[in-house]
Amino acid sequence: EKGWRCKEESADYVWVLDPIDGTKSFITGKPVFGTLIALLKKGKPILGIIDQPVLRERWIGISGRITTLNGQEVATRACTELSRAYLYTTSPHLFSGDANEAFARVRDKVKVPLYGCDCYAYALLASGYVDLVVESGLRPYDFLALIPVIEGAGGVITDWKGNHLHWEASSTSRAT
């Protein structure tokens, strides 16, 4: 998966698209891929869309509003203990070095670790079906659309150190 940056990235409004998030799933017929669309205003995501065409599901997150799935409000579920959490990651093989060790520590403490949902894992998080998504190696086009969706559903999305994600960020993220 390769992305590119437009010359207009410093404009007040910038669209960021990932037309097929989950390219490997798409190629192999696994229906968990989706399209990610973000609108940034002065570098901050104000609109995020996760579109899952196979199931005809669309999550829309708008800054300051509650996230919707096909027009119905959704929310993350409250999970206060890692030992009761359901965790998703695209693949444990995407982690290396310190990130692999950190992921293993989290994975070993959750109730159920699950693998292989690409952007759909974040949609399930926004809808309250899973409690935690942990990833590594993400690029801005992979996560910018997720920010308004997760935050509008009552969740939090950061890097491993708790920093907010932004246009220049990449690498390891987590969402709860």
Residue 23 CB partners (closer than 8 Å, separation 6+): 1, 33
The reply to whether 108 sits in an annotated binding site is no
The reply to whether 12 sits in an annotated binding site is no
**Rounded Cα–Cα distance for residues 58 and 87 (Å):** 22
Residue 156 CB partners (closer than 8 Å, separation 6+): 150, 175, 176
Question: Exposed/middle/buried for 82, CB within 10 Å: 0-12, 13-18, 19+?
Answer: middle
**Rounded Cα–Cα distance for residues 124 and 76 (Å):** 9
The reply to whether 50 sits in an annotated binding site is no
The reply to whether 18 sits in an annotated binding site is yes
Which residue positions form the known binding site?
18, 20-21, 142
Which residue positions form the known binding site for Mg(2+)?
18, 20-21, 142
